[in-house]
Amino acid sequence: MSDQPARPALRWRSSSYSTGMNNCVETAPSGSGRLLAVRDSKDAARAPLEFSATAWTSFVSGLKR
């Protein structure tokens, strides 16, 4: 049994570039909007990773270079 409180359901979004083949990264606001939850659509049952807005923006900016 976990001491963690139950998490509310997250509203997941897929990229507009997703092909619908269940091979994308999904994101959802988390932590009262302070964090961004990220998961692999192929493994939706696994706990998502959570990032601050600053960390996520830095990561995505690095991908664009």
Extract the tokens encoding 41: 């659509």
Whole-number pLDDT of residue 42: 86
pLDDT tens-digit profile of 15-62?
Answer: 777 776 767 889 999 877 789 999 988 888 899 999 998 999 999 899
Compare 64 and 22 and report the one with higher pLDDT: 64
* Confidence (pLDDT) at 44: 85
Give residue 60's Cα distance to chain centre: 13
**The pLDDT of residue 50:** 93
Scored b (16 or more CB within 10 A) or e, 46-59 reads eebeebeeeebeee
Q: What pLDDT was estimated at residue 6?
A: 57
Ranges of H-type helices in the chain: 53-64
Question: Hunting for tokens 């493994």 — which residue is that?
Answer: 43
